[in-house]
Amino acid sequence: MPLELDPELKPAMEAYFANRPAPEARGDALAIRRQIETAMSAAAALPPVPGVSRSDFTATSADGAEIALRWLAPDGERSGSAVVWLHGGGMVFGDVDPCLPQAARLAAASGVPVLAVDYRCAPEHPHPAPVEDAYAASAWLHEHAAELGVDPARIAIMGESAGGGLAAGVTLLARERGLPLARQVLIYPMLDDRNIEPDPELESLATWSYDRNFTGWHALLGDLAGTADVPAIAAPARADDLSGLPPAYVDVGDLDIFRDEDIEYARRLAAAGTPVELHVRPGCPHAFESAVPEAAVAQRSQQDRIRVLRAL
């Protein structure tokens, strides 16, 4: 039986496929960035989310660069948990501010403060800059936990798409460096640089394409991409050892080109003794919940993510 779009997603997605711009040339990372920036411009113009205050901080990354942080704190009494949040963008989109409405809605709905990270992106800042920036933000939150009313034992890391891959990479770095993280929340994470050959079952339904995946990984890794020398903190699917990592939540659509790598990563986490909650959403392409947020499957997915954060 062929793969099909969820009925509630189908009209919007078919309109998107019919009207999307011509694909960028393989390797043109800046063209992808321009397209993402255009798509995000409307979200960036939205008014602030009611009931969420913003404070701006900076963290120092491994190479001395100053990384902007946005602390989004919901009003009212809080439990002491917090989440470091990493936006998507295929490893090539590099501005957190257009993504803040999404992060603020997450804080408002869950009651959990969100630290949104303006990590640097490729091609100007290849590996290890993005994952080191995300790690630096996580370490900064531990260092400033007391003043922010956060319990250091209840800090999670969460990311979407490229941000999900970076979140997984941060958990590997945190294990190596002894930084405790309570949970990893991986939303259709970008984990495997080898995933560049089109699957004919998925190619026509892919909102993030195999060509874009090639471009994003090569912008991040350069000539290392696809070789045996890719480090696990850059592409966590490469990790030999997934033991000793925080409990994981993994969420992906079955029409997403990341489906198989995400399922396999969840399986390997579980085999290594890590508690895993895995959701594979039928009829859903990459970033499905942003395309039709009112769809039942999008609502279920968001409710599950909120549930996980509330349980921190």
Residues labelled catalytic: 161, 256, 286
Three-class secondary structure assignment of the chain: CCCCCCCCCHHHHHHHHHHCCCCCCCCCHHHHHHHHHHHHHHHHCCCCCCCEEEEEEEEECCCCCEEEEEEEEECCCCCCCEEEEECCCCCCCCCCHHHHHHHHHHHHHHCCCEEEECCCCCCCCCCCHHHHHHHHHHHHHHHCHHHHCCCHHHEEEEEECHHHHHHHHHHHHHHHHCCCCCEEEEECCCCCCCCCCCCCCCHHHCCCCHHHHHHHHHHHHHHHCCCCCCCCCCCHHHCCCCCCCCCEEEEEECCCCCHHHHHHHHHHHHHCCCCEEEEEECCCCCCHHHHCCCCHHHHHHHHHHHHHHHCC
